[in-house]
Structure 1
Amino acid sequence: MTREVDLVIRGARVVSPDQIIEASVAIAGEHVVAVGHDDTMPPARAEMRADGLYLLPGAIDSHVHFRDPGYPNKETWKTGSAAAAMGGVTTVFEMPNTHPPTGTVEALRIKLKAAESSYCDFGIHGLLGDESIDQLEALLDAGVTSFKAFVGNTFGNLPAPTDGALLEGFEILAPLGIRTVVHAENSSILFRRQKRLQDASRIDAMAHLAARPAVAEIEAINRVLTLAEWTGARVHIAHHSAADSLYLLREFKRRGVDVTVETCPQYLLLNTDHMRKLGGVMRVNPPIREPRHNQPLWDALMDGTLDMIATDHAPHTPEEKTRESIWECDCGFPGVETQMPLMLTEVNRGRASLMDYVRWSSVAPARAWGLYGTKGVIAPGAHADIAVVDMARTGTLSQNKLQSISKISPWNGRAVQGYPLHTLLRGRFVMRDGKLVTDAAGWGRSIKGIQRMPAAKPRNMEHYSSAIVEAPEGIPANAKPLADAL
């Protein structure tokens, strides 16, 4: 007798990067157990018709700021993860620039406690900086899944790691196969130019872009990927914004560097034409750039130079985003809830296929963070992380309806076509019929236990800091300098 399952979703179209098939999906507990013709589905305690709808693997957002602990007026784990659930996002990776920063085991434990209210599964990026180098392995043991290096300054004003610390951090993480996210802008350029603009009394929105030219991204990416190539470290370039630095990504990928790269909807769809109208609402790091950057970033997604879509969900209160001086407007805005309808709208316009979108939103991040097979796919044995999407549904994005505490968005009033109607996380509805399932708070859990990164490929280990502190064979560690011996 065939065993009864918990749920069968019938009559849908299941999307992978390679094909879209008409199929039904059976779910037992937290996992998919069958994908196939409706007649082959086992008996189920519950059924859902999905005729005309698409089943996408739940989106994986590699870059969110849930501000918890430290800034509950901006966001909490509960409100940020609720926004994720509403947006068809089932897994997020959260950034370390909270208060305290996630650079110690104690700070990590505070964050993990806050995350107990999460509606989605999560990874935690620990802080890679000069003060945390000796904590990296302890942080991994305590639950960190990956690291973040703020080479460019952003909210929280964490000091950029010195090049020496960045190199040593890569030396520690390369043999472990752990990936480090990098905010790749040159802080020295940014600080100096911002000071000159402030001294000149420039407080307009365009001054922010003037302070952070594309060359700051070009230089930082080149430096970071040079260190990654030397050490064999895995890196991930966050929020790639400029057309001008794409050539570096192509070259380092050609040379075999294990680098993955994200861009965000704001860099694909917004530009300075919008910033002239919205001002500080659009202040974000790196900045949203001139119109000439939009299409090359789309092209780079299509050809694989850019691997994935993330959001850099970075909420602030409306008052913090609308001050007179651009320098006093906090950087960032909410995005985890609006990403999917924005991108599905572009699919409907013919700029990409649904298969492309699944590759960018789910498959590529699952591979980058060692989750593919368990997440990033709708197949037997995988977690039942599913966004049920209506590609025909139309609407208008409204900042007042966001689950995020941050009720201010550059997407406010934007017409979209294509919405997630239901979101399942490990077989449980966390959003259903367009409404948050409030008793699912806390269903989310860390992905640390299922993360399986490929074998590490460290390089030049004889030159690592850990190697050079050892005396060469045959030379006593306490040997005196020649001058002292004479």
Structure 2
Amino acid sequence: MTQADLVIINGHIVSHETTHKAAIAIRDGKIIAVGEESSMPPAKEVLDATGLHLLPGAIDVHVHFREPGYTHKETWESGTAAAAMGGVTTVFEMPNTNPPTATPEAFADKLTLAEQQAYVDFGIYGLMAEDNVDQLEALAECGVIGFKCFMGNTFGNLPSPSTGAMLEAFERVAPYGLRTSLHAETASIMAWRYERLRAAGRNDALAHVAARPDVVAVEAVSRAAILAEWTGARIHVLHVSSAAELRPMREAKQRGVDITSETCPHYLMMDTRDYATLGSLMRVNPPIRESADSDALWEAVRDGTLDMIATDHAPHTPNEQHNEVIWEADCGFPGVETQMPLMLTAVSEGKITLQEYVRISAVAPAKAWGLYPRKGSLTVGADADIALVDLERQEVIDQETLHSHRARATPFHGWPVKGLPVHTLVRGRFAMRDRTLQSEAKGSGLSVKRVQQMPTAKLVNSDKTLAAEIAKTSVHKEEVTS
């Protein structure tokens, strides 16, 4: 019998459907056997996981690691170290860096940085903007995990594309089947309200919420879903914050639009009452809203309207986050290291089951991006991406110990949690062991690409695309000439 590199015994394996006690054997980064301990092959190392649950490593499809351009906030090294400590084995990184990931050349430069530093596997988004529509096919060919479209203003001040540009962009990317992730807030509504509120002297923390009412999300989600339906493009709604935007997402799914969505721990666990004590530290786009929104989001997680959990990990230095004038505070905070402890705490409180957590943290993102079952499952042939968690272990979140060491300030500082990842394996290698980052894992992360065949990508209304209409120009000229 072939020798395994590692056999894990006495643990409980968790899928999105069941939990059962079993052993796992790993060789060359893959799971080669799952079953009784007696059926496992001999191994170079045996790990006794008594008292631990084995979860598929979390896949965070929404992180900002700030490199290149803003390395005083975060780097690929510190960001992926935080991911490893948080039981996250794959991350998708956003394009609003400096320069933005808007061309194949910018993608190649970022890929090099990631390959040199990453502790975990990663995907890199390409930007979908007004001024790089002609670059989208080249970005798709060079290996982006998908595209990011900023329909509303956020860090980096990348201009939001017009609806016309979005339509052409969707037409261009639809045949590739790559998913476009949307910052779904309508820029013009926010800009108008922002100017009016500032002029009226509103500088308090809640003015940020007033500038971005939930209608900005309702309008943007509805508009994006219509464009996706018309073109056949696949879309993903990022950081869902309100009850109101659930309706257009449900309606789009019912119409057959390939639309997925996420929410984040801060939208589930905080509300406008927290601004009184946390002030600008809570400033994030879109804003944290009312308790009724949080309740609706929890229900949407449980009923499947919201497909997955992500973090919008967005570190800034404390000086950039804290400001009495809310408009002058940078938006966002780190989250990739605290997501799993926070959500396991929710499991312990009965808000969701452990199986539901596996669905939203690993299975759903893997399926939505065509990585399942290589990622997101603990089955034979899958990558050995495993978070071994102690559901009874209790700690208090301390921002001073977070591995996003350049920008640690978080509104979850001081929160007690129950349930922590103890070991994190990425393709069978320990990235974190016994709650200690493994320095030798730096640079071992790999770029992920779609491996499982998804439903065939199809461009709808192909005869009405802008490219098709432009191609008719020469035909009409010939008819006129003749």
Establish whether TM, by shorter chain, passes 0.5: yes
String of CA shifts for 1:24-58, please: whole Å, max 9, x gaps.
10001110001111111111110110112100000
Asked if 1:103 corresponds to 2:123, the answer is: no
2:238 matched residue in structure 1: 238
2:220 matched residue in structure 1: 220
**Local SS of the residue matching 1:448:** coil
1:477 matched residue in structure 2: 477
Counterpart AA for 1:382: A
Asked if 1:410 corresponds to 2:405, the answer is: no
1:325 matched residue in structure 2: 325
Q: 2 CA distance for matches of 1:140 and 1:315?
A: 28
String of CA shifts for 1:395-445, please: whole Å, max 9, x gaps.
100111100021200000000000000000000000000010011100101
Shift of the alpha carbon at 1:328?
0.8
2:201 matched residue in structure 1: 201
**Local SS of the residue matching 2:235:** strand
Counterpart AA for 1:300: A
**Local SS of the residue matching 2:244:** helix
Shift of the alpha carbon at 1:459?
1.2
**Local SS of the residue matching 1:363:** helix
Q: 2 CA distance for matches of 1:233 and 1:221?
A: 14
Using the aligned pairs only, state the percent identity. 55
Q: 2 CA distance for matches of 1:243 and 1:476?
A: 49
Counterpart AA for 1:103: A
Q: 2 CA distance for matches of 1:301 and 1:477?
A: 55
1:39 matched residue in structure 2: 38
For normalisation by structure 2, the TM-score amounts to 0.98
Q: 1 CA distance for matches of 2:367 and 2:458?
A: 16
Q: 2 CA distance for matches of 1:134 and 1:477?
A: 25
Conservation of the 8 A alpha-carbon contact between 1:370 and 1:454: no
Q: 1 CA distance for matches of 2:450 and 2:152?
A: 31
1:466 matched residue in structure 2: 467
2:191 matched residue in structure 1: 191
Q: 1 CA distance for matches of 2:158 and 2:82?
A: 26
Conservation of the 8 A alpha-carbon contact between 1:280 and 1:326: yes
For normalisation by structure 1, the TM-score amounts to 0.97
Counterpart AA for 2:187: S
**Local SS of the residue matching 1:335:** coil
Conservation of the 8 A alpha-carbon contact between 1:14 and 1:54: yes
String of CA shifts for 1:162-213, please: whole Å, max 9, x gaps.
1011000110111111110000001001111111111112111001000000
Conservation of the 8 A alpha-carbon contact between 2:92 and 2:123: yes
**Local SS of the residue matching 2:279:** helix
Q: Which 4+ residue blocks in structure 1 deviate beyond 3 angstroms? A: 449-454, 478-481
**Local SS of the residue matching 1:66:** coil
Counterpart AA for 2:252: F
2:111 matched residue in structure 1: 112
Counterparts of 1:84-483 in structure 2, within 5 Å, are 84-116=83-115, 117-404=117-404, 405-448=406-449, 450=451, 452-471=453-472, 475-480=475-480
1:24 matched residue in structure 2: 23
String of CA shifts for 1:252-276, please: whole Å, max 9, x gaps.
1011000010000011001111112
- Between the two proteins, the alignment pairs up a number of residues equal to 480
Counterpart AA for 2:93: E
Conservation of the 8 A alpha-carbon contact between 1:63 and 1:95: yes
Q: 2 CA distance for matches of 1:361 and 1:17?
A: 10
Conservation of the 8 A alpha-carbon contact between 1:264 and 1:310: yes
Cα RMSD of the aligned pairs, angstroms, is 1.3
Conservation of the 8 A alpha-carbon contact between 2:371 and 2:450: no
More deviation in 419-428 or 111-120? 111-120
Q: 1 CA distance for matches of 2:453 and 2:323?
A: 45
Q: 2 CA distance for matches of 1:353 and 1:203?
A: 41
Q: 2 CA distance for matches of 1:429 and 1:60?
A: 17
